Amino acid sequence: MSIRELDQQYVAPTYKRFPVEIERGAGSEVFDGEGKRYIDMGSGIAVTSFGIADPVWRQAVTAQLEKVQHMSNLYYTEPCAKLAEQLCLRTGMKKVFFSNSGAEANECAIKAARKWAAEKHGPECHLIVTLENSFHGRTLTTLAATGQDHYHELYQPLTPGFVSVPAGDLEALERIVNTGRVAGLLAECIQGEGGVLPLPEGYLRAAAKLSREKEFLLMVDEVQTGNGRTGKLFAYMYEDVQPDVVSTAKGLAGGLPLGATLLGERVQDVFGYGDHGSTFGGNPVCCAGALSILNRLDDALLEEVRRKGQYLRERLACGKGVLEVTGRGLMIGIKTSRPAGEIVAACMDRGVLCLTAKDRVRLLPALNIPMELLEEAADILLDECGK
């Protein structure tokens, strides 16, 4: 049987896969089973921060692999401790809980808010407010947090205690906060799965101020926007706010599964022994990969991400058939007159892998994608948008 047939027979069909089998890659180029080359403008959905099999990242990962590949969290390991230190030093956050995915990073954020608020205000204060059109993961609790009804239908009953309000609507947020029952607000700075839609300017700052006055937690879901993706280490850094909780995953370890929940000053002591845990969380190989990624996300690299993002946005904005370009850094959404799915399929035929988000084309290339590849991909994408 071919790979495609095997997969179709034995893998649960939860993914509508493209008819391509990716065999290997190098940087921002990947190759299928027949040797056809593609420019990777999706990075495995913002995961392979420095592309496929990046040599520096690979060296860090394999060096750790040769020392110890896993240890129980009952023992100390160097990569985990050093990564937590770096994450805190670079963000002003105080403590880190490591898990394995974005959904789990958000689960931890929600648990932190529930426990913190119950201790501070009592058990009635347990609501988590999220934003309409948001995406926070696929577990039953993070589905409840996800502000899109169509994700909820199949799996009732979901975890109770979630309310979503329109993104950008401060009055709606204040109304729900004034019930005295809100433990925290969980929001993406730029809604990724929702269509690459940034929060309106100033909303996060106003929400941060409100969270201080009314004593609830400001939690940002940086699973997709984090780790340099938008041209800052984390997207909240554009807004001059200090969140209480930051969750991240996707690009954190450059292609290995790792989630992190960063706890700020107000919640740094919320978890004690036995309050939360994960067998694989903080795995030394994943943490070694993440440390190598984080070390390279310096000012020069972040500046490069902003510059390349600006180049792409400017070129795309004046393209034929392009209605709107949104996003920041190398997280870009494109509203097109031609259906996004059609454009993505046509680009794939021509050797460019793009993504969609809702009705838009979405681009999430590696942060170090060479300019020539970016230009080549933009040429093909623009040509297809204009058809």
Ligand X SMILES: *Cc1c(COP(=O)(O)O)cnc(C)c1O
Residue type at 75 in one-letter notation: Y
Q: Which is nearer to ligand X, 181 or 203 (CB)?
A: 203
Is residue 137 within the footprint of ligand X (CB under 6 A)? yes
8 A C-beta contact, residue 364 and residue 334: no
Residue type at 373 in one-letter notation: L
Is residue 192 within the footprint of ligand X (CB under 6 A)? yes
Q: Which is nearer to ligand X, 346 or 353 (CB)?
A: 353
* Cβ contacts of 37 within 8 Å, gap of 6 or more: 29, 30, 31, 351
Q: Which is nearer to ligand X, 353 or 380 (CB)?
A: 353
Task: Return the H-helix or E-strand segment holding 343.
Answer: helix 340-349
Q: Which is nearer to ligand X, 40 or 221 (CB)?
A: 221
CB of 145 to ligand X, least distance (A): 9
Is residue 224 within the footprint of ligand X (CB under 6 A)? yes
CB of 259 to ligand X, least distance (A): 7
- Binding segment for ligand X (CB under 6 A), chosen from 81-89, 220-228, 303-311, 370-378, is 220-228
- Binding segment for ligand X (CB under 6 A), chosen from 48-56, 188-196, 232-240, 354-362, is 188-196
Q: Which is nearer to ligand X, 102 or 365 (CB)?
A: 102
90-119: which residues touch ligand X (CB under 6 A)? 101-103, 106
Q: Which is nearer to ligand X, 17 or 175 (CB)?
A: 17
Number of residues that bind ligand X (CB under 6 A): 15
Give the separation between CA 84 and CA 386, rounded to whole angstroms.
46
Give the CB-nearest residue to ligand X. Answer: 102
How many C-alpha atoms does 255 have within 13 Å on its Cβ side? Answer: 19
Q: Which long-range contacts (CB under 8 A, 24 or more apart) does 307-313 make?
A: 308/369, 308/371, 308/374, 309/230, 309/231, 311/371, 311/374, 312/363, 312/374, 312/378
Total residues belonging to the chain: 387
- If you compute the radius of gyration of the chain from its CA atoms, what whole number of angstroms results? 21
8 A C-beta contact, residue 283 and residue 258: yes
- Binding segment for ligand X (CB under 6 A), chosen from 129-137, 236-244, 291-299, 320-328, is 129-137
Longest CA–CA separation in the chain, Å: 62
CB of 225 to ligand X, least distance (A): 7
- Binding segment for ligand X (CB under 6 A), chosen from 84-92, 202-210, 216-224, 355-363, is 216-224
- Binding segment for ligand X (CB under 6 A), chosen from 5-13, 73-81, 131-139, 293-301, is 131-139
Q: How many helices (H) and strands (E) does the chain have?
A: 12, 17
Is residue 193 within the footprint of ligand X (CB under 6 A)? yes
Is residue 249 within the footprint of ligand X (CB under 6 A)? yes
SS3 293: helix
Q: Which is nearer to ligand X, 309 or 319 (CB)?
A: 309
DSSP 206-258: HHHHHHHHTT-EEEEE-TTTTTTTTSSSSGGGGTT---SEEEE-GGGGSSS--
List contacts with ligand X (CB under 6 A): 101-103, 106, 135-137, 188, 192-193, 221, 223-224, 249-250
